[in-house]
Structure 1
């Protein structure tokens, strides 16, 4: 444990960057994978000096906060669907490339999943074609931008320029031309546009914005991957047209809608899926007193009720639970400790109904093959 001792400067493994800027995106793409801290026994943990224990706990905290991505069936399905769209979009520059829209409830991990796909695609393109273009520019296969409240046309173009580190002065047209030059020079192939539901979708602006998105798709030789919540309901896909006219909306014709489903336990396949997820997370926890089945057996129903099957809620709950387990010296997770951990408001609101159904015997996340087995003490 030499990394945990001594008087040298200790910065930890926090990585502060923004993937909405080129430098941050490149750090996300090229940064080393985190190494899971060594699991110490309670005896080994007690034998550490105060300084070494502080360092060890710091490493564990940042590790637990960044577990993942976990390649769930939902994530793998989305990867496959995105790859089918992006990797078949080999049309020449005079043809618009079909777009993808990942539209799902908040908290399911859709942004994380798409960023991971973008990172994999970026790495593959660099491995295939090299880090520089034939003209000597840095190759940037993917850009990632996130929109803010009521983004309009000029704001969207400025956000693209800001990612590349270009000036953001000028009107919408000059910004679009500046961004297009960067796309062509740096050989960008994919735009990931997160929080597209923040686009101004007022009745007056919807058609204008939809037309601008079509303009970007026509002008930039890239595949657009949009991420959002309730995008279809906001009318962007139908360009603000009436239901009778919606079938003629060009934006909708060019965009394939995908989703990311929450975990469900209505059938045996879903219950096994939930158990496999908890077993995978359990293996990644660095707690001195954890035991096999700590999550997947002891807390399977509890965690489902506390998260309502939403991945972000689940991981926030487990991350905070691990921090509390370390601080209290308990070094394991159980219902009593987890009851002291706060979670997001949406998950807590859904909790009471799920708990009532489970206590009434109407619902369980435990596979039938596990129902008769005694839980570990």
Structure 2
């Protein structure tokens, strides 16, 4: 989602042309300046409230950190774009696969943003170019649903009784006309190739792949486990796409521990707190890895929610108590997944 306008929140999803353009064209927001001690202490209540809200809004913005995975995906994607550019056939796509919370969507969105910015910088200011199309695969996707997702991104009108063939032809015509160079398909694990609808939806993506001279980028949760490479269709996908696997940060050697500390340091440098000691969060790197289960999303929540709690309670520095009190998602907390109730009569102990 992106914000447009100054007076109210007008959320534009990335799966619309307007939302994607606003995301891609948005400059990096400037961090609020941390006031000198005397000026800070001299703020009246209204000024203090506005100052604190500005800092808290800054902390709530997702800070995109150039993790090793994002750098690898961006570099590989840019090489693929160059490789595919002169080719009418024989192009290659990119699949980003991994567990939830490991930065797959963020990485492909940053890849698309970079390509959008680079392309539009070279284009005529009044060009109708649409460098990137971005869609999310809905659950239980059918071929027509995928065509409608792309048509919706482009803002194409869809007649209530329009056939799949009509919508598909309109989408392909427009994507060629605007010289779309990258098609990002997120949540690709929602395609179930074991069902007829899922297999046909996969064929629809293959048709777009063949009809549109663009680099296709897929992102999804553990796609091999979800059967994306199964059967004849899966083997065709595997033969046309490179796959990059993302994972949570663990404690697997000095290099990974160093990368984890660099990510924490980058987030810590962006904080706007008056009493926070630089480097104190880096020293908590093992604790933060354990709390977040190595998830960048969970780490972001931990640090920035703790920073806002430190503003609210007036301590102006993040302590371990702040971090301990933050509730994270179930996966990051290592909680056991909910299991079905044991079968049998109520009140009786399940057999072991």
Q: Look up the SS of the partner of 2:243 in the other structure.
A: strand
In the aligned structure 2, how far is the partner of 1:270 from the partner of 1:80? 19
2:243 is the alignment partner of 1:257: yes
Distance 1:317 1:13, change over 3 A: farther
2:136 is the alignment partner of 1:146: yes
Contact 1:37 1:59 in 2 (8 A): yes
Q: Which residues of structure 1 form unaligned runs of 5+?
A: 1-9, 352-377
**Displacement of 1:96:** 5.0
Distance 1:13 1:61, change over 3 A: farther
Match of residue 173, structure 1, among 165, 169, 173:
165
Aligned length: 330
- 2:279 counterpart residue number: 293
Which whole-Å deviations, capped at 9, do the CAs of 1:253-273 have from their partners, x for residues lacking one?
A: 111111223223221112211
In the aligned structure 2, how far is the partner of 1:97 from the partner of 1:277? 34
Question: Which TM-score applies when normalising by structure 1?
Answer: 0.82
Contact 1:194 1:228 in 2 (8 A): yes
Which whole-Å deviations, capped at 9, do the CAs of 1:336-376 have from their partners, x for residues lacking one?
A: 1221111111111169xxxxxxxxxxxxxxxxxxxxxxxxx
Distance 1:71 1:15, change over 3 A: farther
In the aligned structure 1, how far is the partner of 2:257 from the partner of 2:119? 37
Match of residue 115, structure 1, among 109, 112, 119:
109
Match of residue 106, structure 1, among 97, 100, 107:
100
In the aligned structure 2, how far is the partner of 1:20 from the partner of 1:58? 30
In the aligned structure 2, how far is the partner of 1:29 from the partner of 1:186? 17
**Displacement of 1:67:** 4.1
Question: Which TM-score applies when normalising by structure 2?
Answer: 0.87
Structure 1, 198-207 or 152-161: larger mean CA deviation: 198-207
- 2:342 counterpart residue number: none
**Displacement of 1:114:** 1.1
Q: What pairs with 1:263-282 in structure 2 (closer than 5 Å)?
A: 263-282=249-268
- 1:51 counterpart residue number: 46
Q: What pairs with 1:303-342 in structure 2 (closer than 5 Å)?
A: 303-342=288-327
Structure 1, 251-260 or 201-210: larger mean CA deviation: 201-210
2:124 is the alignment partner of 1:127: no
In the aligned structure 2, how far is the partner of 1:55 from the partner of 1:324? 16
Q: Look up the SS of the partner of 1:80 in the other structure.
A: helix
Q: Which residues of structure 2 form unaligned runs of 5+?
A: 337-352
Contact 1:42 1:289 in 2 (8 A): no
**Displacement of 1:120:** 0.8
**Displacement of 1:191:** 0.4
- 2:195 counterpart residue number: 203
2:30 is the alignment partner of 1:35: yes
- 2:20 counterpart residue number: 25
Match of residue 164, structure 1, among 154, 159, 176:
154
In the aligned structure 1, how far is the partner of 2:220 from the partner of 2:324? 32
**Displacement of 1:153:** 0.8
Contact 1:279 1:293 in 2 (8 A): yes
The CA RMSD over aligned residues, in Å, is 2.2
